[in-house]
Amino acid sequence: MEYKDYYAVLGIDKKASQDEIKQAYRRLARKYHPDVSKEQNAEEKFKNLQEAYEVLKDPEKRNAYDQLGSQWKQGQEFRPPPGWDANTRFYTTEDFSQSDLHGFSDFFSQLFGGQRSRFRGEEFAGFEQRGSDQHANITISLEEAFRGTSRTFQLQLPELTPNGNMHQNVKTIKVNIPPGAVQGQQLRLAKQGSPGMGGAPAGDLYLAIEIAPHPLFSLRGRDIYLTLPVTPWEAALGADINIPTLGGKVGLKLAPDSQAGQQLRLKGRGMPSKEGAGDQYAIVQIQTPPAQTEEQKQLYRQMSQMMPYHPRKNWL
């Protein structure tokens, strides 16, 4: 089996005080805890920290470990010295169970497997850390964003069990989405993230709103845009048109000589908010009826003669 240099694992000197050992463990536990760490091999490093701290935090275990001498190096092939069992009889005589040794190395089991570890029940004693924040996306329709809605969904969150193992906890969450939600808006659900350690509070859950594409409307900030198709005669003569909005139909007066691309503003018909609702814009799009019969074609010829118009006259 491989020798474990517990001092090197915690990054401390062999003459470190008990306070220095505790401080080193807490600092590295924050860095490598699998629930919050983005470091490579964080879970393995965290288990090594647990094992090293289990030995060095206990003056008797530390003294016994130090008796092995300083000639050993991390990862070196190791066998306990003769008479080691006799040297460790001052420990508690209760035997380890397999679950007690879960996650600890063979090195630890060989040296300290004859006594009951208290680490699993108190691995975070005196160590508190707020749970990590979690992030998720939630997709709703534009109508739901306008009126507000609620959603119930399930999330899988990492959780540390009392015996020090990580598992995925399925959590059912209901969220109320207020009227006027916009694309990318984040909703904060306090204490709905990963659980804290050592009695510290859970983290928060942040839900990013995604609004599904709509067949008629598009959303830009809090303003809503609608393409308004009109006939050439409606654009030329003006017309009264019923316009769909998310709050229902409204009447709109199209002025004579309206041009393609012109934006008609419907004040306050956009997404609601505490600061004031956005607007809706109807963008004029002139659609030309197809000339499918000879009679229809003749009508277009007459129009070209009666109303000569040169849209490209300003071209160079």
User: What is the domain partition of the chain in residue ranges?
Assistant: 6-122, 134-211, 217-306
Question: Phi and psi for 246 in degrees, rounded to 5?
Answer: -70, -20
| Listed range (9-23, 105-119, 205-219, 297-311) with the worst mean pLDDT | 105-119
Q: Given a cut of 80, is residue 196 above it in pLDDT? A: no
pLDDT for position 146: 97
Confidence of residue 162 (pLDDT cuts 50, 70, 90): low
Q: Given a cut of 50, is residue 97 above it in pLDDT? A: no
Answer whether 0.85 is exceeded by the pTM. Answer: no
User: Which architecture characterizes domain 6-122 according to CATH?
Assistant: Orthogonal Bundle (1.10)
Q: Given a cut of 70, is residue 124 above it in pLDDT? A: no
d(CA 129, CA 197): 5
Q: Does domain 217-306 have CATH number 2.30.130.10?
A: no
Across the range 184-212, mean pLDDT stands at 87
User: Which architecture characterizes domain 134-211 according to CATH?
Assistant: Sandwich (2.60)
Sign of CA dihedral 93, 94, 97, 99: negative
**Are 6-122 and 134-211 in the same CATH fold?**
no
The distance of Cα 200 from the centroid of its chain, to the nearest Å, equals 21
pLDDT for position 133: 83
Write the CA distances from 71 to 2, 55, 62, 68, integer angstroms: 14, 19, 16, 8
Q: Given a cut of 80, is residue 75 above it in pLDDT? A: no
Confidence of residue 281 (pLDDT cuts 50, 70, 90): very high
Across the range 10-18, mean pLDDT stands at 89
Write out the H or E segment, with its range, that includes residue 187.
Answer: strand 186-189
Query: For residue 191, which of 180, 209, 206, 213 has the smallest C-alpha distance?
Result: 206
Q: Given a cut of 80, is residue 160 above it in pLDDT? A: no
| Block residue for tokens 């990492």 | 158
The CA R_g of the chain, rounded to the nearest whole Å, is 36
pLDDT for position 101: 41
Confidence of residue 121 (pLDDT cuts 50, 70, 90): very low
d(CA 48, CA 28): 11
User: Which is higher by pLDDT, 92 or 160?
Assistant: 160
